[in-house]
Amino acid sequence: MRVICSPDWQRKLQQKAGKLQFETNFWGTVNVTKAILPYFRKQQFGQIITVSSMMGLISLPMHPIYAASKHALEGFFESLRFEVSQFNIKVSMVEPMWAKTNIGKNMIAVDGNISEYRNYKEQVNHYIKNGLANGEEPSVIVDKIIKVINTKNPKFRNIVGKMAGMVLFLNNYAYPMFENTIHKSVRSAK
């Protein structure tokens, strides 16, 4: 059986998948945080540590909705950190770069399978698969979370991963070099 989708139907499917990604990555985290805040304010202390992603600080090709949801998390928690500091509530982010998890298997495609992107999308998928396969073990991220918990005045951003600091530096201060590196890495991924 062959299913032919109209462009309007594909667009609606993309929007639905994008909204689902925001519901999970952004609103789910925000809602849990808002549920605990009244208790933290009442006791005049607490600690919120959110595990996000380096994709909240940089963006990679073919995953704009995922990156947008992670950027939104960064903005929300950065603002929240200012608001709740008066109640002795600490807010920190842990941003892994690549981690050996099932995220690659659980990713939702929201690009609508645009035929002109097919080859590039395959290259990007190889790039991501390689990054995840060579990423940090989850225990490294757990160790970072424990370090943040045990720090008296934890910093807001806590990046994790091989070359994460360099990648973030290039993204912030040498963007053309960052962009060229990503293009080259995607092209050479197998």
Known catalytic residues are 66
Using alpha carbons, select from 33, 45, 51, 32 the residue that is nearest to residue 144. 51
To the nearest 10 degrees (0 to 180), the angle between helices 118-133 and 175-188 is: 100
Provide the 3-class DSSP secondary structure of residue 12. Answer: helix
- Please list the residues that pair with 159 across neighbouring strands: 95
State the Cα–Cα distance between residues 78 and 12, nearest whole angstrom: 32
DSSP string of 13-54, one letter each residue: HHHHHHHHHHIIIIIHHHHHHHHHHHHHHHHT-EEEEEE--G
Answer whether 88's CB lies under 8 Å from 45's CB: yes
